[in-house]
Amino acid sequence: MIIVRTIAELQKKVAETKQQGKTVGFVPTMGYLHEGHLSLVNEAKNHDDFIVMSIFVNPLQFGPNEDFDRYPRDFERDERLAKSAKVDAIFYPDVKEMYPRELSSTITVHKGVNALCGKSRPGHFDGVATVVLKLFNIVQPTRAYFGMKDAQQVAVIENMVADFNLSVQVMKCATLREEDGLAKSSRNVYLSDEERSEAVQIYASLRQAISQIEAGERNPVMIKDQINDLLHSKTTGIVDYVEVLAYPSLNVIELIQGEIIIAIALKFSKARLIDNITVTV
């Protein structure tokens, strides 16, 4: 595994790789790696020959009340984990390498950001889209791998790729889960024992919603109401949102048809958990 800190060096390595007829898989991260990131690497290795992982804490996606400087960083640990997962190259630039001057152009995301988590983070997905477009242009990957745990981010990136006719293939990877179905998250450690036992109801309510749709339910309001009722009755958490939207547009729908996403955010005392599931009707 090599560690690359400059754009020029990475582009040279990628060009040499492609000249050998190899495909390039790309896993973008902000570091502080966990099982979810490593599962993306494993999936990339099933499809591509040379795996590039980026580790870059992107200042553009942090709002004024979000502390960029306090975001967890541990490159030595990340390096060990990436090496164990058999990543071929880590792209580890600093902010000056990625943004050597004040940007004269950025991406503004117009659709799909006023729902789900985007409602409380104005401008966040503009920063995400801008850095991902920059990374795509630097790495020139065959495929890029993203976890569906953050389905809104995946939707924004899918829409950007379509809007700008980018050649990269976006690979949507299933959410990594505990044996009882709870989506794996670093936030799970902040749950009390009681909250941890209740948290399984998030995925259970999503599965119940899918069963109702498979049985013929097409009214999104009915699905939302039933999820809310289950979470209120079986957990002590506070429902932040329950949404049934078109995917990947994230538009409000009156009838369940085509590809949709059912998404939940539930607040416990010290952790806000998100989960979702997509289905095509």
For 68-79, the DSSP string reads GGGS---HHHHH
- pLDDT band, very low/low/confident/very high, at 220 (cuts 50, 70, 90): very high
Domain with CATH 3.30.1300.10 in the chain: 186-280
Query: Each residue of 161-179: pLDDT tens digit?
Result: 999 999 999 999 999 999 9
- pLDDT band, very low/low/confident/very high, at 10 (cuts 50, 70, 90): very high
Say what the pLDDT of residue 116 is: 86
Bridge-partner residues for 265, per DSSP? Answer: 241, 274
Average pLDDT, the chain: 95
Number of other CB atoms surrounding residue 171 within 10 Å: 21
Q: Which amino acid is at 144?
A: A
State yes or no: 216 annotated in a binding site.
no
Say what the pLDDT of residue 83 is: 97
State yes or no: 31 annotated in a binding site.
yes
Domain with CATH 3.40.50.620 in the chain: 2-173
Query: Each residue of 130-155: pLDDT tens digit?
Result: 999 999 999 999 999 999 999 999 99
- For the chain, what's the residue count? 281
State yes or no: 84 annotated in a binding site.
no
What is the rounded average pLDDT of the residues 176-184?
A: 93
Domain 2-173, CATH class in plain words: alpha beta
Say what the pLDDT of residue 212 is: 97
Say what the pLDDT of residue 245 is: 96
Say what the pLDDT of residue 121 is: 80
Of the candidates 173, 164, 176, which has an alpha carbon nearest to the alpha carbon of residue 28? 173
pLDDT above 90: percentage of residues in the chain: 86
State yes or no: 47 annotated in a binding site.
no
pLDDT above 70: percentage of residues in the chain: 100
What is the rounded average pLDDT of the residues 192-202?
A: 98
- pLDDT band, very low/low/confident/very high, at 66 (cuts 50, 70, 90): confident
Residue 158: pLDDT above 80? yes
Residue 118: pLDDT above 80? no
* Residue 64 vs residue 233, higher pLDDT: 233
State yes or no: 147 annotated in a binding site.
yes
Architecture of the domain defined by 186-280: 2-Layer Sandwich (3.30)
State yes or no: 149 annotated in a binding site.
yes
Residue 112: pLDDT above 90? no
- pLDDT band, very low/low/confident/very high, at 243 (cuts 50, 70, 90): very high
Say what the pLDDT of residue 255 is: 97
Q: Could you check whether the bond before residue 122 is cis, i.e. omega within 30 degrees of 0?
A: no
Determine whether 124 is an active site residue: no
Query: Each residue of 19-57: pLDDT tens digit?
Result: 999 999 999 999 999 899 999 999 999 999 999 999 999
Residue 238: pLDDT above 90? yes
Sign of the Cα torsion 196, 125, 175, 141 reads negative
Q: Which position among 37, 47, 124, 232 bears the catalytic label? A: 37
Of the candidates 137, 135, 146, 36, which has an alpha carbon nearest to the alpha carbon of residue 91? 135
Residue 129: pLDDT above 90? yes
The b/e string for 32-52 (b: 16+ C-beta within 10 A; e otherwise) is bbeebbbbbbebbbeebbbbb
State yes or no: 1 annotated in a binding site.
no
State yes or no: 226 annotated in a binding site.
no
Q: Indicate the pTM of the whole model.
A: 0.88
State yes or no: 127 annotated in a binding site.
no
Residue 107: pLDDT above 90? yes
